[in-house]
Structure 1
Amino acid sequence: MLEHGGRLGRAVREYGIAREHWLDLSTGISPFAYPLPAVPSTVWQRLPEDDDELLDAARGYYGTHHLLPVAGSQAAIAALPRLRGRSRVAVVEPAYAEHAHAWITAGHDVVTLPFLALLTRAHEFDVVVVIRPNNPTGECADGETLLALHDRLASREAAPGLARQRPWLVVDEAFIDVSPEDSLCGHRREGLIVLRSVGKFFGLAGARAGFVSAWPALLDDLAGSLGPWTLTGPTRYVVARALMDTVWQASAREWLRRASAQLALLLTEHGLPPSGGCEFFHYCEHPDAAALHRAFAKRGILVRHFGNPPALRFGLPADETSFAALSQALSEAIA
């Protein structure tokens, strides 16, 4: 299993600090979570029904008719490589490691490249995987640039001996909800696959809900691979209401923008200016990242550590008390 943020139980055991005394900033999940509605008992008692209100709500929110609900975008990340024959795959780096891992595990030939190098060499590959905003760096590829990249991929065929399928551009937009107008979901193109996550923006990671936007034949293949009931009935009920609640969405976007700016200022004031980031997290390259990670953990602050390049990723504190705790830890850890 690959390393992920949110391993609070492990930190409790390793550092001997009680769970309730930790400030967990190790994920990019918004702490400004959608308020959970009461779920009727009948929703618990029946099998999930795919003709409920969820798809209509999602189509309105994502601006496209062609969507498939999945158990978090991770489910699609794992399943998509199994829908192609052996292919040459380029994945942006550094990035969410599950993308490259899934393609490698499925037997494909995988190369990881920085985004600019990936753009230059895109013609060499059958599948290109991009994350926008990128996790963990926050880099956000321009939509027009990606559509032009898709045009280049669509104009060629796979090389002999490899998958004779239309080339794919897979775009992971798990963190784009603060700027929904920038999403590529509304561009219906064969060969363009867009992954969306409910967990990050709505703060509902435990619901394990996401959507795939693509052309109908691919969605049919993916649905067949995943099987029925990809989302539980209660998840469908809650997510439908979150997707329809435009008033809450507007307030969440404003909160995320303010909190992100406050976090960037705090890190900069303490000598740890972000190297990148987005509204959900900030990314700080630092030669002593491993030592800083331990120093924060000893003070009950859990952040995400990356080794290559050495860096830390800070999620958003939920309130002023949490910001004050982080400020104190920064003062003590960075001498």
Structure 2
Amino acid sequence: MSGPWTWHGGGLEAAKREFGTGDWIDLSTGISPHPWPGPATIAFDWQRLPDPDALARLEAVAAVCFGVDARHVCAVPGSEIGLRLTGTLVGGPARHIAPSYRTHGEMVAGSAPLATEAAPGYDGTLILANPNNPDGRVTSAATMQALLDRRGLGGWLLVDEAFADTDPATSIAALVDDGRRLIVFRSFGKFFGLAGVRLGFVLAPQAIVAALRERLGAWPLSAAAIAIGTAAYADREWIAAARRRLADEAAALDTLLTRQGHRPTGDCPLFRLIEVDDAQALFERLARRAILTRPFAEQPHWLRIGLPADAGARTRLEVALADG
């Protein structure tokens, strides 16, 4: 299976053209269905260029959340750009854990896929996600430390933590230091449910941060992204409540899927992966009921299902799954 839905989540307009308009539920992404509510209260001065001091404040506030010194934090206009720019700085040879996020295989020219079980024996630059996407697998802290320890031979450990905000215990951001060959990528839009802000971070040794800033140039972020990101990362009460809510709703999704005969996998509360005989048929059946999920061209038995926003959306999903 190939098409706009297998390349990346979020192809809602293409789905409407293919399957018809209606009251769609988009479960094709790993973006939280509960966005941080603050943007409606923030005013921006669109006539002024973004202020460098404001950008530094954003990085400092985010650094506290990540548990890393602000000197190692570089804000970027989306983690996608951070991944690709950093890949050009690091260079090859490199390997990327597969299956995982598609961009990992494009970050470093010539990078080849590597099975998870082969990673402990590889010494060069290694690219992986934790939690992993699309299967939600979480790599233990001990394993991550062992992978980092092997980088002393010259390679880098590049860790995409786009989904780590849901559980900070999965992050190794605190280990980022000038003396370690570790670079961590963080995403704002997924946990805060505001992917349109286009905000991400690269956590790296200061030499990498400096090189990134040179390539990004002046004013890398909009004033809106800076203001929204600063206020959101400072909202500790909302962050704590969101983590509890997402965990509870992921458990409810697990119960729903199990009740319908599926075995959900994954430890990231923003999505679950199920394996079926014909994922394309199930994808199309759900799409005809205005429910968009995420199939995979290279894995015809996989279907990723994002977190429904409420009980009504869960009910619609369960009815559609049951109506075979």
Instruction: Establish whether TM, by shorter chain, passes 0.5.
Output: yes
Q: How does 1:254-293 map to 2 (within 5 A)?
A: 254-293=244-283
Deviation per CA, 1:265-309: give whole Å up to 9, x if none: 101110121133421100112221111111110111100001333
Q: Does 1:227 align with 2:217?
A: yes
**Matching residue of 1:313:** 304
Corresponding residue of 1:163 = none
1:101 corresponds to which residue? 106
Residues 261 and 267 of structure 1: is their aligned pair in 2 closer, same or farther, counting only changes over 3 Å?
same
Separation in structure 1 between the aligned mates of residue 110 and residue 43 of structure 2, nearest angstrom:
48
Distance 2:141 2:215 in 1: 29
**Hey, what does 2:12 align to over in structure 1?**
8
Q: Quick check: 2:283–2:292 contact (8 Å CA) kept in 1?
A: yes
Identity %: 39
Whether the 8 Å contact between 1:58 and 1:243 is mirrored in structure 2 is yes
1:322-333 map, 5 Å: 322-333=313-324
Instruction: Give the corresponding residue for 1:161.
Output: none
Offset of 1:11 from its aligned partner? 0.3
Question: What are the within-5 Å matches in structure 2 for residues 6-85 of structure 1?
Answer: 6-18=10-22, 21-37=23-39, 38-42=41-45, 44-52=46-54, 53-65=57-69, 66-85=72-91
Letter of the 2:50 counterpart = P
Q: What secondary structure is seen at the aligned counterpart in 2 of 1:45?
A: coil
CA shift at 1:261, angstroms?
0.5
Deviations 1:172-218 (A, max 9, x none): 00111121133111113331000001111110100010111111001
Give the equivalent residue in structure 2 for 1:303.
293
1:129 CA drift (Å) = 0.4
What 5-or-longer segments of structure 2 have no aligned partner? none
Aligned counterpart in structure 1 of residue 150 of structure 2, from 143, 152, 169: 152
- For residues 145 and 84 of structure 1, what CA distance do their matches in structure 2 show? 23
CA shift in 2, pair 1:244/1:41, >3 Å: closer
Which whole-Å CA distance do the structure 1 matches of 2:268 and 2:50 have between them? Answer: 35
Structure 1 segments unaligned to the other structure (5+ residues): 158-166
Helix, strand or coil for the counterpart of 1:109?
A: coil
Give the paired residue count.
312
Secondary structure of 1:69's aligned partner: strand
How far is 1:320 from its partner?
A: 1.0
Within the alignment, does 1:218 sit opposite 2:216 as a pair? Answer: no
Q: 1:248 aligns with which of 238, 255, 260?
A: 238
Partner of 1:164: none
For the residues of structure 1 that align with 2:156 and 2:107, how far apart are their CA atoms?
A: 15
In structure 1, the residue matched to 2:173 is 185
1:141 deviation in Å?
1.0
Name the SS for the 1:102 alignment partner. Answer: coil
CA-CA distance at 1:151 after TM superposition? 1.5
2:141 equivalent in structure 1: 143
TM-score using structure 1 length? 0.89
Tell me how far 1:136 sits from its aligned partner.
0.3
Alpha-carbon separation, structure 1, partners of 2:140 and 2:76: 26
Secondary structure class of the residue paired with 2:7: coil
3-state secondary structure, aligned to 1:90: strand
Q: Distance in 1 between matches of 2:44 and 2:267?
A: 41
Task: Indicate yes or no: 2:158 matched with 1:170.
Answer: yes
Task: Map Cα deviations across residues 26-80 of structure 1 (whole Å, 9 max, x no partner).
Answer: 00000111003323242x2211122123122112111112100011110111111
Distance 1:300 1:45 in 2: 41
Could you say which residue in structure 2 is the equivalent of 1:88?
93
Distance 1:197 1:84 in 2: 20
2:7, 2:296 within 8 Å by CA — same for their partners in 1?
Answer: no
Task: Judge conservation of contact 1:281–1:314 (CA < 8 Å) in 2.
Answer: yes
1:131 counterpart residue number: 129
Secondary structure in structure 2 of the residue aligned to 1:51: helix
* TM-score between both structures, scaled by the size of structure 2: 0.92
Provide the alpha-carbon RMSD of the alignment: 1.5
